[in-house]
Chain A
Amino acid sequence: MMTALGPHASFIVVAYIATVIVILALTIWIARDYAVQRHTLSDLESRGIKRRSQREDKI
């Protein structure tokens, strides 16, 4: 059965909120970074710019 958080409830609640904030911030930062990298990569590819390994494939 779920127990009450007792006289130190505020410390417990703040600990959980702080953890959620840090994990959410990290997850959003990594997800946004992925979106930025994908967008930049597709932009470069649409302008016909290729990596060295892609150029060598055509030779």
Chain B
Amino acid sequence: MALIDLANPTRFLALANRVLPWLAAVTAIVFAYGLYRVAYAPDDYQQGATVKIMFLHVPSAWLAMMGWGLMTVAALGTLVWRHPLADVAVKAAAPIGAAFTFICLVTGSLWGRPMWGTYWVWDARLTSVLVLFLLYLGMLALYWTADDPNRAARAAAILALVGAVNIPIIKFSVDWWNTLHQPASVVRMDGPAIDSSILVPLLVMAVAFTLLFFTLHIAAMRNEILRRRIRSMRMMQAANA
């Protein structure tokens, strides 16, 4: 089966039904292994045990940005090819991306209080992630309040493309401005600045969170396809009444 064949709602549903149980099982196994590695990871020499918050904060921050990146690519599918699955992908990703951004903000706050002495500071990194969260909420509000799904799809795609400007701002905010937030310590030109005893559990947790994101996204896309079928059937019923 070619990849393009999956861009058909019926084929996507059949594949999702087959793949989801396996994907959920693999996600659970990787999470179990990741949490085991986290439990036995050493404390940081400066931050002590609070470094354990990093194993939640960093993967959720990556997924917050990846979620919007996924929506941006799917938005191109809506605007350029007007493919119905593209809008399904955008709509399904919005609440999941919002949830991971919320986790990123909450865990960051809880990490900041003992390390920085404050839950929140209006520096570039924290503010740009808060803007991302508000963009996600705006996307959800757009879908929930729109009467016409086609107009909602077009508006959501434009919002996704406009909001994509914020992703490089988040990534490079710690380099462009003087922030309280530490600079990048994993994805760096000269390699990770974290010892492997902490880096490996972090990467395992990042894989687990990413698998969880895709499991939930495929499940949410399946729900959205069914919702659109129901809407179509109700419209047919009303037309024939």
Show the binding face of A for B, using Cβ within 8 Å. Answer: 1-9, 11-12, 14-16, 18-19, 22-23, 25-27, 29-31, 33-34, 37-38, 40-41, 44, 49-52, 55
Q: List 22 A-B contacts (CB under 8 A).
A: A1-B40, A3-B42, A3-B49, A11-B50, A11-B114, A12-B52, A15-B53, A15-B57, A15-B106, A18-B106, A18-B110, A22-B106, A23-B103, A26-B99, A26-B216, A30-B223, A33-B220, A33-B223, A34-B222, A37-B227, A41-B229, A55-B236
Nearest-neighbor residue (CB-CB) of B220 within chain A: A30
Cβ distance A43 to chain B, nearest Cβ, rounded Å: 9
Provide the residues of chain B in CB contact with A31, threshold 8 Å.
219
Given A38-B226, A44-B234, 5 additional A-B pairs, CB 8 A: A3-B42, A6-B43, A16-B56, A30-B216, A44-B237
**CA A3 to CA B40, docked complex, whole Å:** 7
**CA A49 to CA B240, docked complex, whole Å:** 10
* Interface membership of B48, Cβ < 8 A: yes
Show the binding face of B for A, using Cβ within 8 Å. Answer: 39-40, 42-43, 48-50, 52-53, 56-57, 60, 95-96, 99, 102-103, 106-107, 110-111, 113-114, 212, 216, 219-220, 222-223, 226-227, 229-230, 232-234, 236-237
- Which DSSP category, helix, strand, loop or mixed, fits chain A's interface? helix
Q: Which of B43, B56, B96 contacts A26 (CB 8 A)?
A: B96
Q: Which of A1, A9, A18, A44 contacts B107 (CB 8 A)?
A: A18
Provide the residues of chain A in CB contact with B113, threshold 8 Å.
11
Q: Which of B102, B223, B233 contacts A51 (CB 8 A)?
A: B233
Asked whether A15 lies within 8 Å of B232 as measured between CB atoms, the reply is no
Provide the residues of chain A in CB contact with B222, threshold 8 Å.
34
Nearest-neighbor residue (CB-CB) of B35 within chain A: A16
Nearest-neighbor residue (CB-CB) of A2 within chain B: B39
Provide the residues of chain B in CB contact with A41, threshold 8 Å.
226, 229-230, 233
**CA A27 to CA B49, docked complex, whole Å:** 29
Q: Which of B49, B110, B227 contacts A5 (CB 8 A)?
A: B49
Asked whether A5 lies within 8 Å of B52 as measured between CB atoms, the reply is yes
Asked whether B212 lies within 8 Å of A8 as measured between CB atoms, the reply is no
**CA A12 to CA B42, docked complex, whole Å:** 15
**CA A51 to CA B236, docked complex, whole Å:** 7
* With A18-B103, A33-B223: A12-B236 Cβ-Cβ less than 8 Å: no
Q: Which of A1, A4, A18, A23 contacts B49 (CB 8 A)?
A: A4
Provide the residues of chain B in CB contact with A30, threshold 8 Å.
216, 219-220, 223
Asked whether A8 lies within 8 Å of B114 as measured between CB atoms, the reply is yes
